[in-house]
Amino acid sequence: MMSEYIEFVDEEPSPSGKTRRIVVRSINHGDELGTIRWYSPWRQYTFLPNELTIWNSKCLDEIKGFLVTINVYHKQLLSQRRLMKEVLES
């Protein structure tokens, strides 16, 4: 996803390999602004901003859009895995 001020960098998978860790960085300065990670209690990706970062509504909207996209993708991937499992077991 392209943004004017922030970039989303896919870092490394979780220890299980089932979810991703995405670093949110400033395009202008390269500073790490926070991370997007899977939050198991809510069963979705969430944004964890770094301390002392300041956000305007446009950047928050871009992060929200990214979260919506990655959560939809994750759910579709899970559905495909379940379907494949059912096909292989039948």
pLDDT digits (tens, 9 = 90+) for 42-74: 999 999 999 999 999 999 999 999 999 999 998
Is 49 domain-assigned? yes
Looking at the structure of the chain, the number of domains it has is 1
In a domain, 1, yes or no: no
| Segments forming the whole domain that contains residue 68 | 6-89
Please give the model's pTM, rounded to 2 decimal places.
0.83
Residue 21 lies in a domain: yes
Residues 6+ apart with CB under 8 A from 58: 4, 5
